[in-house]
Amino acid sequence: MKLSHWTYTSMLGGLLFLGAQAPANADAWNKKTYVTTSQSIEVPGAILPPGKYVFKLLDSASNRHIVQILNAEENHVYTTNLAIPQERMEPAGKTILTFYEMPGGGPEPVRSWFYPGDTIGQEFAYPKKRAMEIAQFMKQTVPVLAESHPPAETPAPPPAPQPSLQPAATAPAAPPEAQSETEDAGPAPAPPPAPEAAAPMTPPDQQPAAQQPPAADDSTPAEPKMPQTAGNGAEMGVLGISCLALAASLRVAMRRSGGKS
């Protein structure tokens, strides 16, 4: 009868880890377990040579699936893995480690870890490239370790355009002294506005007629006319009298001159 894959991996874990045990004084909170292996094994991000190691959960109340793997003295951390909960039908009486069966006789990647007496264990996640290699050979899904990326940098705003220190094209070029003063003082002043173009002359025959004053409003009452007085007839009468007086004066003068003679 053929053994199932789960049974095979469990038996393989028992053969490789006969030295794995949970000491009587182990803390049940962090699931601290001493594991001794006689051959190299692979954990996410590291290859562990034969020796003694510590598997335990990170002291976190919010997440109970962060696994740390350390050396026996617990002064060096090989890896910290954000695992995935995995369930068993029956609790085991000892520590169980399962593996992915990789060809070539190299270090076997650890698949899951169960603390003695637990039905919920930790399934390890691997970096994306390694997870794809294992999944391709095993023909099954392998959890991928979430990769942390640095926050994207906010692009700096483009630099503000510098004001041009060159005079306008329409303005005459300033002498060197004036240009140096302009550069020291700042941006060149705007050129004066161009004079308005003179209005074109209109020939006399095409000139518009002079505007007539607006007609008087009929509603305005007309001023009373003054009565007419003597006209030119009175002036003519005065002139005639003057002529007659002058003629009489001349006649009297002539008579006096004739008597004397």
CA distances from 132 to 66, 83, 104, 127, 140 (A): 22, 17, 17, 9, 10
Find the DSSP H helices in 17-139: 128-138
Q: Taking phi first (over 0 means left), then psi (-120 to 50 degrees means alpha), and beta for anything else, what does residue 129 get?
A: alpha
The domain spans of the chain are: 5-138
Kind and range of the H or E run holding 247 = helix 232-260
Q: Which sign does the torsion angle of CA 129, 130, 131, 132 carry? A: positive
What is the rounded CA–CA span in Å between residue 216 and residue 225? Answer: 17
pLDDT, position 236: 76
Quote the distance between the C-alpha of residue 1 and its chain's center.
66
What is the rounded CA–CA span in Å between residue 41 and residue 53? Answer: 11
Neighbours of 65 (CB within 10 A): 18
Q: Which of 67, 106, 94, 99 is nearest to 83 (CA)?
A: 67
pLDDT, position 53: 97
- Token pair 């000139």 is found at 207
Half-sphere exposure of 137 (CA within 13 A, CB side): 12
**What are the 10-residue block averages of pLDDT along the chain, 261 residues in total?**
44 47 60 93 95 93 92 95 92 90 88 94 95 92 75 59 56 48 51 54 53 53 54 69 82 74 52
pTM of the model: 0.49
pLDDT, position 169: 52
Long-range contacts of 5-10 (CB under 8 A, 24+ apart): 6/98, 8/101, 9/98, 9/99, 9/101, 9/111, 10/96, 10/98
